[in-house]
């Protein structure tokens, strides 16, 4: 899949954002979720692919609050790549912590 550049298409749809709510409806959200599922499989156990997506980490961190799949993708990128252990993870952990706190608040409000 790397040679075909399929991950580039997935990244495009994940990064594509607009303020027009009519353009980004449920169909776009469903496509973004499928792109995250593809990228999770793309990086799982593949250090080269993990390195390619590491450069786009900011886009995934923006989506952590909206898509649980973004958290799974970040996890897959870092879980077995020791090369990334020396990175400053405080930014990533702060985003994940904030997203989980908001999710807990939203779940408690619905109950």
Task: Specify the pLDDT at position 50.
Answer: 87
- Contact (CB, 8 A) for 5 and 38: no
Domain of 17 in residue numbering reads as 6-110
| Residue pLDDT, tens place only, 8-23 | 889 988 887 655 555 5
The pTM of the whole model exceeds 0.85: no
Between these two residues, 7 and 1, which has the higher pLDDT value? 7
Neighbours of 53 (CB within 10 A): 22
Whether pLDDT at 52 is above 90: no
Residue 68 predicted with pLDDT over 60: yes
Domain tally, the chain = 1
Is residue 1 one of the residues assigned to a domain? Answer: no
Q: Does residue 63 form part of some domain?
A: yes
Query: Per the domain annotation, does 46 fall within a domain?
Result: yes
Radius of gyration over alpha carbons of the chain, in Å?
A: 15
């Amino acid at each position: 899949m790397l040679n075909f550049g399929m991950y580039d298409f997935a990244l495009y749809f994940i990064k594509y954002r607009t303020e027009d709510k009519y353009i980004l409806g449920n169909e776009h959200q469903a496509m973004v979720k499928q792109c995250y599922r593809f990228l999770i499989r793309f990086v799982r156990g593949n250090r080269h692919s993990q390195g390619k997506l590491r450069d786009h980490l900011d886009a995934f961190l923006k989506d952590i609050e909206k898509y649980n799949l973004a958290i799974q993708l970040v996890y897959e990128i870092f879980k077995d790549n020791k090369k990334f252990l020396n990175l400053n993870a405080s930014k990533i952990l702060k985003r994940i912590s904030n997203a989980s706190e908001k999710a807990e608040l939203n779940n408690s409000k619905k109950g």
